[in-house]
Amino acid sequence: MKRHRLLHGLKFLVVVLLAATVFAFFVMELWNHLMPTLFGLHAVSFWQALGLLILSKILLGGFHGRPGFGGHWRQRMMERWEQMTPEEREKLRAGLRHGWGPFGCSPAPPAPPAPAAGAAPKE
């Protein structure tokens, strides 16, 4: 029983190392074929390609066993949508239409202030 587990663990380790080697080689070849030609970047070694592969996995996918963001964001958004009042929903729609944040469209400029009561109009 103990020997079977050890062999299973060794097989798994060999498969993981083989897959990492193949992927790193693929990344290296792809980088060295495209990046110097397109962007004038330097070629990378096998170890640099393996580092890029690990870095991209950490930044984009994590090590939690499933790719991307986890997949539950849509369900959470639908639950939030159902709990919103009609006014909040319209505010969200308007924000999505006109863009929010530094990458969206800037809001319309504020209207000029109304003249004070009793003030003479400027000529």
Do 105 and 98 form a contact (C-beta atoms < 8 A)?
A: yes
**Mean of the pLDDT values across residues 81-108?**
77
In this structure, the answer to whether residues 15 and 50 fall within a common structural domain is yes
pLDDT per residue as tens digits for the range 58-92 = 888 766 655 555 557 788 888 888 999 999 888 88
Q: How many domains does the chain have?
A: 2
Distance CA 47, CA 54 (A): 11
pLDDT of 78: 87
For residue range 8-22, what is the model confidence (pLDDT) as tens digits?
Answer: 889 999 999 999 999
Claim to verify: residue 14 and residue 56 sit in the same structural domain: yes
12 shares a domain with 56: yes
pLDDT reading at 119 higher than 90: no
For residue 40, give its domain range: 8-61
Maximal CA-CA distance, the chain = 98
Q: Which residues contact 12 (CB under 8 A, 6 or more apart)?
A: none
- Do residues 44 and 26 make contact, with C-beta atoms less than 8 angstroms apart? no
In a domain, 116, yes or no: no
